[in-house]
Copies of this chain bind each other. A is one copy, B any other.
């Protein structure tokens, strides 16, 4: 195990320093095993982990190649402006697709943070953020029907929640006590974000309030692919 970890370390640093950048082909498992005087299985495990980490990909019969790494996008996390506005400030071509809008069963935590009764209806609206057609974040908004009665039918059409709120008379937004966690993608997340299993995700959970009335507008959970961003706070 220690040998595998050493190899993984070594290969990552070589990949980052660009040793393989010329042809992008890594040495075959057999050759690397001979070079480091370890059984091929050790090299194999190292290569498999590098695949899970998104650094390389392997093709049976051909070999292993370094995966083109994503460019790092600076992202401002402290948020009283919307994601749409954040991205407009930068020069990236980005896009939002609403992928679901459905009522959720009663959930104590969500309902409490939205400050609504248990007989209220709460919808979760999932919007996928894409940059150059690559999914990089999933933005899930939990919204109560009592606050926005038309949310069920409006939901699928919304691209910017903040814009939607403004159209309904809420002008200034505030979010505090955002909590941040590092998680690994579930099968669903991997499918949606098209990432391998060991790409850590940054999960930001926050509450959006109207600054004037202090009313809770939405409970938000955003998961960002950590390999696409450098965050600024």
Contact = CB atoms under 8 A, between A and B. Distances in A.
Given A186-B9, A187-B9, A233 B178 contact: yes
A177 B74 CA distance: 11
Interface in A107-140: none
A39 to B, nearest CB: 15
Contacts of A6: 187
Interface stretch (A86-94, A149-157, A195-203, A210-218): A195-203
How big is the A interface, by class? 20 to 34
Contacts of A190: 5
A75 to B, nearest CB: 9
A115 to B, nearest CB: 20
Contacts of A77: 180, 233
Nearest to A177: B232
A226 interface: yes
A197 B5 contact: yes
A220 B190 CA distance: 33
A52 to B, nearest CB: 7
A49 interface: yes
Interface string A218-233: 0000000010001111
B9 A181 contact: no
A35 interface: no
B180 A232 contact: yes
Q: Which 5 A-B pairs have the closest CB atoms?
A: A182-B226, A180-B231, A200-B200, A182-B200, A5-B197
Given A49-B52, A53-B184, 13 more contacts: A6-B187, A12-B184, A49-B197, A77-B233, A78-B233, A179-B231, A180-B230, A181-B226, A181-B230, A182-B200, A182-B226, A198-B198, A233-B233
Interface of A: 5-6, 8-9, 12, 45, 48-49, 52-53, 74, 77-78, 177-182, 184, 186-187, 190, 197-198, 200, 202, 226, 230-233
